[in-house]
Structure 1
């Protein structure tokens, strides 16, 4: 992951560019771990493809267990957008199963592509980093006789049952595997990895319920939710938030515990809802309230 050599790679030693083929969309399976996309994101990507064409191919793997079928490695948004346009095929780079040493290596390729190219929401990013950390731990060489690399079951146990000190140690080891430049580019830090592992400890079923909602973009709320135990209490909190009976994890906890909490001012309610809107809807709101925005700017400039 870190790079020690600064010498340029000779042109004659570069691997040939893989061929790009048109592949039937119906023949491509999307694994369950791929993130979900909102209808707005799919429509926006579809518009771009309709105007500019598909500028980047997706990447898929030929399945050994089903002739003529493939498994998506990355590019689910492009794939859904192309299908949205009513097209039957999509340009893809086809990888062979023997190109990946393990399922972890396959998923790692998907993670690195998404982390480098796509702005992930807080929930998707946390799960991607935690999974990446799992893969890193599973592929580490034995450090001393008798020590084995972490298995997927052990990685899940780390997320669910470890104390903060153990999680921080795993976070520090994983973060140190990146160069400083890579840490800066990917936005990875020891504290960030720690928070990601905590957030990823929320069950996959409950994460799926929160996907594409405002809370999936709020790292602070997700982290607070992850600290709540037991798991069924998390479910109750999510029920209240998704049912719009609570506007935050703390509000939901107050409702569950029957404790009093200061009612937020009207401007706080508007702020909470505004901050959860997509950028385009925020712009539309500001357009509708241009007079108030101009008044505020004039008042602020007079200070």
Structure 2
């Protein structure tokens, strides 16, 4: 049983929702302006659809003797990859849209208005997925149980009790995905290990972090998860959320009253940079490409 098959399956042949019909894949045109998808993404989704069916129909509009795609290009291409002749679709008529611009806007908003997972959300999702997969596998030898651990969330209930067990389960879970799915989902033994570690932060504290920039900083989340004493962990989160300090290291120094030298300008910038979202970091790299290229050249990198 793979990590994917450990979930409850649905089927494409289930009774269609009103307004959703099966349409020939070959009759649907994908406009050139639609988002392009990597082959790994197409294969990964195709594997999932093959096992569980299509969870959300695509949307199309009548065009001549066929159809034009409004949204759902990845789902359509996954069906093409599988060689499936039909796909479930919501079919619209051109006169249901005020203009071509209105039709395109639907496609844009369907992609732009998605709320991407933060690193914290992703970690909990991977941990839960791993938990469901592990529940269907032969039991592994558990490590020592932590004292006074009363946990109710799924990821915590199935969390390995030692770092060795985490690493072993991460390797087994990652290996259950195809190479394409591993690449697309960024699933590896190490990423699963990190996710399990981060997901071990108690749910109450995760809720407090969830809407803070800290939720998208894997390094800081991992550092919080490494703090064994609950009271100390809570104090660190309090200091960061309260804006007193910007990092876990600074919070621990504050709690332990360890003297800190006045940070240099680059250290202050580094702390701020670590709290940026990935897209903001990429923008920073773009703006400082010349400096980064110079730095790489000094180290013999191309």
Is the 8 Å Cα contact of residues 215 and 221 (structure 1) preserved in structure 2? yes
Confirm whether residue 200 of structure 1 aligns to residue 206 of structure 2: no
1:68 alignment counterpart: none
Question: Residues 2, 182 of structure 1: CA spacing in aligned structure 2 closer, same or farther, 3 A cutoff?
Answer: farther
Shift in alpha-carbon separation, 1:189–1:261, aligned structure 2, 3 A: same
Of residues 114, 118, 121 in structure 2, which corresponds to 1:121? 118
8 Å CA contact 2:128, 2:154 repeated in 1:
no
Distance 1:250 1:204 in 2: 22
SS in 2 for 1:262: coil
Instruction: Tell me the CA shift for residue 182 of structure 1.
Output: 1.6
* 2:121 counterpart of 1:137: no
Q: Secondary structure at the match of 2:201?
A: coil
What does residue 171 of structure 1 align with?
Answer: 170
Kindly provide the CA deviation profile for residues 193-242 of structure 1, in whole angstroms up to 9, marking residues without a partner as x. 11110100001111111112211111111111101011221110000001
Equivalent position of 1:98 in the other structure: none
Indicate the structure whose relative CO is greater, using CA pairs within 8 Å and at least 6 residues apart: 2
CA contact 1:129–1:197 (8 Å) conserved in 2: yes
CA 1:220 to 1:240, structure 2 compared with 1: closer, same or farther past 3 Å? same
| 2:202 corresponds to 1:214 | no
Show structure 1 runs of 5+ residues with no match: 4-13, 23-53, 57-116, 144-151
Runs of 4+, deviation exceeding 6 Å: 279-286, 293-297
Aligned position for 2:239: 240
Distance 1:182 1:277, change over 3 A: closer
Q: What's the counterpart of residue 230 of structure 1?
A: 229
C-alpha distance in 2 between matches for 1:295 and 1:132 = 42
Change (3 A) 1:129 1:118: farther
Deviation at 1:249, TM superposition (A): 0.6
Q: CA contact under 8 A between 2:2 and 2:133: conserved in structure 1?
A: no
Distance, in Å, in 2 between the alignment partners of 1:282 and 1:219 is 14
Q: Which has the higher helix share?
A: 1
Instruction: Rate the CA distance shift 1:262–1:140 in 2: closer, same or farther, 3 A.
Output: same
Residues in 1 aligned to 2:263 and 2:154: alpha-carbon distance in whole angstroms? 43
Contiguous gaps of at least 5 residues in structure 2: 4-10, 20-69, 73-113, 141-151
Q: Give 1:272 deviation, angstroms.
A: 3.0
Q: RMSD over aligned Cα, in angstroms?
A: 4.4
Alpha-carbon offset, residue 55 of structure 1: 4.2
Q: Does the aligned pair in 2 maintain the 1:2–1:179 contact within 8 Å?
A: no
Number of residue-to-residue matches in the alignment: 194
Tell me if 1:156 matches 2:156.
yes
Residue 265 and residue 21 in structure 1: after superposition, are their counterparts in 2 closer, same or farther (change >3 A)?
A: farther
**How do 1:88-127 residues align onto structure 2 when only pairs under 5 Å count?**
119-127=116-124
SS in 1 for 2:12: coil
**Rounded Cα–Cα distance in structure 1 between residues aligned with 2:169 and 2:197:** 12
- The DSSP-based 3-state class of the residue aligned with 1:188 is coil
